[in-house]
Amino acid sequence: MPTVSSSPAPARAWLAALLRGAEPGPMPDEAVLLDTAQAEGVLALCHDQLRRSPTWEQYPATLRVALIRHARQEAAVDMLRAAELREVLEALARQGLPVLLLKGAALAHILYPEPYLRSRCDTDLLLPSRDDAERAWRVLETLGYERPNAISGDLIVYQLNCHKIGRGQLTHAVDVQWRLSKAALFAEVFPFTELAAAAVPVPALGPSAHSLGLVHALLMACIHRVFHLPEGNGDRLIWLYDIHRLAERFTEKHWQHFTTLAEERTVCGACLDGLSTTEAWLATSLPEAVLRRLRTGAARERFDSRQARSRWGLAWLTFRALPSTAARLRWLGQNLFPDADYMRRKYNFHHSGWLPWFYGVRIVQGVAKRLRQGR
């Protein structure tokens, strides 16, 4: 089978065509294709799609071997992660902690024919409050989990990052959240009680496993990518494919509920951007009436998807969305001046007299990093 450009852009377009069921055309450079599929989170999906194709045997043997090896590895890793997650959920349930599975760990089991096809590196758990999240952390600690040094601040941090090394030296990462989104702009748009009322069971992960219902899952998928837009990976194919598969499951009733919630919670702009991007890449079938309502709603909102693609732009959108001057000042303070304990651990100093100096160091480093990212 002939190959073409070694640039990642054609490889991404080739993978998108494969995922939407079109004829992808000449195969890109093999090494670039594998690297791009890995970065886009669709390597196992690539194997699954090609293996079902009548042209599977026409692809280079080296590519087929690499894809088969990766798929088998992902299936084995998924089994270990599922076993660990069942243990975590059971331990939390014994302590009476209500939990909802978010994003990849949930979607893998409710959307995909095999859970290993939905690549992921962590598990996101949503709890009702910060206090419940801290209780969940203490449970995880008894299971061998640890927490890295991290900043705090009620306006900028909504999760605890926990991890441990399990069997086979496999890293298990669990993010314990008490807000739906890591993007402060959307953190409080859906309360836990509302999400829990519409939750659906995930039997494969045990009796304690529940995930967001389809409507909230699609809203979450659209909102989630906004946090990653400034990093340049908000349009990862695996995240767009989540949106695509969710949209495929929607009935007219689902779309009506989805659009109404997007309008009520002023997230039309984020939803429109997510759906439109998915439609462009994966030819997702979307009702024109839904897109029309989302465009009308987005025009009334302050959210601007183009502005959100830069860190400064997303920070400005977040700053403007805060409810008061006091909240904005507190948000600035939490971003610029993290708590002293975090600073001491990060920069390894003890005397409080060094604190102003290292605050200055942190600000200079942060500005330099953002400038590099901007370039």
Answer whether 176's CB lies under 8 Å from 162's CB: yes
What pLDDT shows up at residue 371? Answer: 65
What pLDDT shows up at residue 372? Answer: 67
What pLDDT shows up at residue 140? Answer: 96
The SS3 call for residue 303 is coil
Answer whether 156's CB lies under 8 Å from 331's CB: yes
Q: Render pLDDT for 164-217 as a digit per residue (tens, 0 to 9).
A: 998 888 999 999 999 987 777 788 899 999 999 999 999 999 999 999 999 999
Token pair in block for residue 275? 């759906």
What pLDDT shows up at residue 4? Answer: 39
The H or E element spanning position 290 is: helix 288-300
The H or E element spanning position 85 is: helix 61-94
What pLDDT shows up at residue 332? Answer: 85
Answer whether 212's CB lies under 8 Å from 198's CB: yes
DSSP state of 352: G
Domains of the chain: 8-72 (no CATH), 83-212 (3.30.460), 213-329 (no CATH), 337-375 (no CATH)
Token pair in block for residue 160? 């605890």
**Strands (DSSP E) along the chain, which ranges?**
100-102, 123-126, 159-165, 171-177, 200-201, 210-211
Q: Render pLDDT for 305-360 as a digit per residue (tens, 0 to 9).
A: 888 888 888 888 888 888 888 888 888 888 888 888 888 888 888 888 888 888 88
Nearest-angstrom CA–CA distance, 43 and 120: 12
Nearest-angstrom CA–CA distance, 3 and 121: 31
Q: Which residues of the chain have pLDDT under 50?
A: 1-6
Nearest-angstrom CA–CA distance, 304 and 319: 14
